[in-house]
Amino acid sequence: MKLQRTNRLRALSVGAMAVTSALVLSACGSDDNTAQGGDSTESAAAGNIECQGEGNLLASGSSAQKNAIDAWVQSYQEACPDTKINYNPTGSGAGIQEFLQGKTAFAGSDSALKPEEVEESQKVCEGGKAINLPMVGGPVALGYNLSGVDNLVLDASTIAKIFDTKITQWDDPAIQELNPDAELPATKIQAFHRSDESGTTDNFTTYLNEAAPKEWPYEPAKAWAAKGGQSANGSAGVATNVQQTNGAIGYFELSYATGNDIDTVALDTGAGDAVEATVENASTGIAAGKIVGTDGDLAMELDYSTDEAGAYPIILVTYEIACDQGNDAGTLEATKSFLTYAASEDGQQQLADIGYAPIPDEVITKVREKIDTLS
pLDDT tens by residue, 140-160: 999 999 999 999 999 999 999
- What φ, ψ does residue 139 adopt, rounded to 5°? -85, 145
Q: Rounded to whole angstroms, how far apart are CA atoms 1 and 87?
A: 31
Model confidence band, residue 287 (pLDDT cutoffs 50, 70, 90): confident
Q: What angle do CA 116, 119, 123 make, to 5 degrees?
A: 130
Average pLDDT of the segment spanning 347-355: 86
Query: By three-state DSSP, how is residue 41 classified?
Result: strand
Cβ within 8 Å of residue 41, ≥6 positions away:
48, 49, 50, 51
Model confidence band, residue 289 (pLDDT cutoffs 50, 70, 90): confident
Mean pLDDT (the chain) is 86
Model confidence band, residue 31 (pLDDT cutoffs 50, 70, 90): very low
Residue count (the chain):
375
Neighbours of 332 (CB within 10 A): 18
Q: Rounded to whole angstroms, how far apart are CA atoms 243 and 195?
A: 17
What is the pLDDT at residue 2? 36
Q: Rounded to whole angstroms, how far apart are CA atoms 162 and 143?
A: 13
DSSP result, 276-293: ---HHHHHHHHTT-EE--
What is the pLDDT at residue 23? 32
- Residue spans of beta strands (DSSP E) within 89-237: 106-109, 130-145, 153-155, 190-194, 230-232
Lowest mean pLDDT among 2-16, 52-66, 209-223, 283-297: 2-16
The residue with greater pLDDT, 54 or 279, is: 279
Task: Determine the residue type at 278.
Answer: T
Model confidence band, residue 35 (pLDDT cutoffs 50, 70, 90): very low
Q: What's domain 21-136+319-373's superfamily in CATH? A: Periplasmic binding protein-like II (3.40.190.10)
What is the pLDDT at residue 360? 85
Model confidence band, residue 4 (pLDDT cutoffs 50, 70, 90): very low
- Residue spans of beta strands (DSSP E) within the chain: 41-44, 47-50, 55-61, 83-88, 106-109, 130-145, 153-155, 190-194, 230-232, 248-253, 263-264, 266-268, 290-291, 300-301, 315-323
What is the pLDDT at residue 11? 33
Given a contact cutoff of 8 angstroms between Cβ atoms, the answer to whether 182 and 92 are in contact is no
Exposure pattern of 100-112 as b/e (b: 16+ CB <10 Å)? beeebbbbbbbbb
What one-character DSSP code corresponds to residue 90? -
Average pLDDT of the segment spanning 12-26: 32
Query: By three-state DSSP, how is residue 27 classified?
Result: helix
Cβ within 8 Å of residue 356, ≥6 positions away:
65, 67, 68, 136, 137, 138, 253, 254, 255, 279
Q: Rounded to whole angstroms, how far apart are CA atoms 62 and 87?
A: 10
CA dist 292 → 46, 207, 298, 363 (Å): 31, 18, 7, 11
To the question of pTM greater than 0.85 for the whole model, the response is: no
Given a contact cutoff of 8 angstroms between Cβ atoms, the answer to whether 352 and 15 are in contact is yes
Q: Rounded to whole angstroms, how far apart are CA atoms 216 and 317?
A: 22
Domain with CATH 3.40.190.10 in the chain: 21-136+319-373, 140-283
Q: What's domain 140-283's superfamily in CATH? A: Periplasmic binding protein-like II (3.40.190.10)
Q: Rounded to whole angstroms, how far apart are CA atoms 57 and 333?
A: 10
Average pLDDT of the segment spanning 276-290: 87
